[in-house]
Structure 1
Amino acid sequence: MKKEWQQSGVLARLQSRMRREKTLNTLLDRVRLREETVDRNQLIQDN
């Protein structure tokens, strides 16, 4: 099965997807998003 996947390119796609997921998970562990409420003088209607 591994040889078939190598020939068809499925194995390379799986490996790149696994690498991308691992990178995203590592970044999300490091980065913390913070929301802040900001008061404005003017109200933005379409926001």
Structure 2
Amino acid sequence: MTDTCPKCCRRHVPPRAERRDSAQIRSAYRCPNCGHAWITSRRRSAYGPAA
């Protein structure tokens, strides 16, 4: 799963690290354009069985 940098709006930034459990997907990102780092936490149920 990719994300958009909240600082410079660069799209399709891939996660540097990802952790999955039965309920959530947690991803850590660092933008290659501006260096901004952020973390997301997404509910697996929102992405269907393939997530």
Q: Quick check: TM above 0.5?
A: no
What TM-score do the two structures reach when normalised by structure 1? 0.22
**Which structure has the highest strand share of the two?**
2
**Which structure has the highest helix share of the two?**
1
- Structure scoring higher RCO (CA < 8 A, sep ≥ 6) equals 2
